[in-house]
């Protein structure tokens, strides 16, 4: 699922740079699975179809629905799929408040319900959840473990009445989670999500975590990410053993025109059917990142996509996408 950038939002001045990234995302994802795109309106839908045609991208795996949006970060306003113990799949629609009220979000918060009403998700049941949760804020290992950060989920601008214990109870009820793994350290300069986990540490399988590691003692992130590394080392998987930890390369800094550092992270990869899409940033560490991640996914192709335009709006490849599971 992708929400296409449009001229009514923050991408207005960057559309010519960012749309080629979205075209490449569709090109690669549609080789392995269906793609659902949300367009602002009918004219925008026609524009997207024209872009896909000119790029030679097959139309059959791509469906475009119309629903207005504030922004394009589908990971955070899209639905979260849950498979219950009886094998039934449903979609959970959490409240989205623009990362703690930082940006307008009313359209994004309604987007999933609008798409569901238009039949975009077939006959899947959609359940509204009345507390704030962004998809980029959580990461699950598939065996009862959920990893997140205190900076994000305990922010008073999201769910001021929900502390650690209350959130863990919600995770047990909604996701079947048995172990919530809280990171108190770790951040990226330029990240405006209050330290989403998908820029810091990711599960590659039930026993492996790939994580953002800084090897430059002079960098402002060094101490924080070292402390995060120690926290990851203390986590235990479903078998009671430490996770295998795989440090990802530290990309050299990227800055915008005003000199603000941008949140470039190789942890923001996307797992799809048969492949892993890896964000690249036009820096020497890109090739090392491909090699490192390939070692974490021996049964999948690792495909790099230049995401430099995406980080100019402080997100990357995983942030721009949301997977919709197929019902059994």
Q: What is the pLDDT of residues 28-38, one digit of tens each?
A: 999 999 999 99
Domain count, the chain: 1
According to the model, what pLDDT value does residue 23 have? 98
pLDDT at residue 11 tops 80? yes
pLDDT confidence of 226, banded at 50, 70, 90? very high
Q: How confident is the model at residue 179 (pLDDT cuts 50, 70, 90)?
A: very high
The mean pLDDT value for 186-207 works out to 98
pLDDT tens digits, one per residue of 80-103: 999 988 889 999 999 999 999 999
Could you tell me if residue 291 is inside a domain? yes
Q: What is the mean pLDDT of residues 112-134?
A: 96
Residue 327 scores a pLDDT above 80? no
Q: Which two tokens stand for residue 92?
A: 């959970």
Q: List all residues 6 or more positions away from 160 whose beta carbon is below 8 Å from its beta carbon.
A: none
**Structural domain contains residue 325:** no
Is 320 domain-assigned?
Answer: no
pLDDT tier, 185 (very low <50, low <70, confident <90, very high otherwise): very high
322 found inside a domain: no
Tell me if 156 is assigned to some domain.
yes
pLDDT in the model for residue 95: 98
Cα distances from 147 to residues 85, 178, 203, 262, 281, in angstroms, run 21, 11, 9, 24, 26
Give residue 305's domain range. 2-311
Token pair, residue 183, equals 């990171």
- Average pLDDT (135-140) is 98
Residue 130 C-beta-side C-alpha neighbours within 13 Å: 1
Q: What is the pLDDT of residue 326?
A: 85
With respect to residue 246, please indicate whether it lies within any of the assigned structural domains. yes
**DSSP for 214-240, written as a single string:** ---TTSTTHHHHHHHHHHHHH-B-TTS
| Catalytic position from the list 214, 296, 307, 319 | 319
The pLDDT score that the predictor gives to residue 38 is 98
- Confidence at residue 86, expressed as pLDDT on a 0 to 100 scale: 86
Q: pTM of the entire structure? A: 0.97
Residue 328 is assigned to a structural domain of this protein: no
Domain harbouring 158, CATH code: 3.75.10.10
**Is the pLDDT score of 328 beyond 90?**
no
In a domain, 128, yes or no: yes
Note if 319 is an active site residue.
yes
Half-sphere exposure of residue 172: CA atoms within 13 angstroms, side-chain side:
8
Beta 125-132 vs 89-95: how paired, if at all?
parallel
63-88 in b/e burial notation, b at 16+ Cβ within 10 A? ebbbbbbbbbbbbbbbbbbeeeeeee
């Amino acid at each position: 699922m992708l929400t296409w950038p449009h001229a009514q939002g923050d991408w207005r001045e960057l559309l010519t740079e960012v749309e080629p990234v979205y075209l490449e995302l569709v090109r690669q994802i549609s080789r392995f699975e269906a793609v659902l795109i949300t367009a602002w309106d009918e004219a925008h839908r026609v524009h997207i179809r024209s872009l896909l045609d000119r790029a030679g991208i097959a139309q059959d795996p791509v469906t475009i629905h119309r629903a207005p949006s504030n922004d394009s970060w589908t990971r955070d306003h899209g639905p979260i799929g849950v498979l219950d113990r009886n094998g039934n799949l449903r979609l959970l629609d959490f409240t989205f408040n623009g990362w703690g009220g930082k940006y307008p979000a009313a359209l994004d918060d309604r987007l999933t319900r609008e798409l569901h009403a238009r039949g975009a998700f077939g006959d899947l049941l959609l359940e509204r959840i009345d507390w704030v949760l962004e998809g980029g804020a959580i990461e699950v290992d598939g065996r009862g473990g959920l990893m997140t950060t205190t900076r994000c989920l305990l922010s008073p601008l999201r769910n001021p009445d929900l502390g650690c214990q209350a959130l863990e109870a919600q995770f047990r009820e909604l996701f079947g989670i048995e172990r919530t793994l809280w990171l108190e350290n770790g951040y990226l300069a330029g990240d405006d999500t209050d330290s989403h986990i998908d820029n810091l540490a990711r599960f590659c399988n039930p026993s492996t975590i790939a994580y953002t590691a800084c090897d430059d003692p002079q960098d402002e992130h060094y101490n924080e990410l070292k402390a995060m590394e120690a926290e990851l080392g203390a986590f235990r998987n479903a078998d009671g053993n430490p996770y295998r930890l795989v440090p990802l390369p530290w990309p050299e800094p990227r800055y915008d025109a005003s000199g603000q550092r941008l949140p470039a992270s190789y942890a923001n990869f996307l797992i799809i059917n048969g492949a892993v899409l890896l964000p690249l940033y036009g820096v020497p560490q890109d090739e090392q990142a491909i090699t490192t991640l390939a070692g974490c996914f021996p049964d999948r192709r690792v495909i790099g996509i230049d995401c430099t335009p995406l980080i100019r709006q402080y997100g990357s490849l995983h942030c721009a996408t949301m997977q919709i599971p197929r019902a059994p």
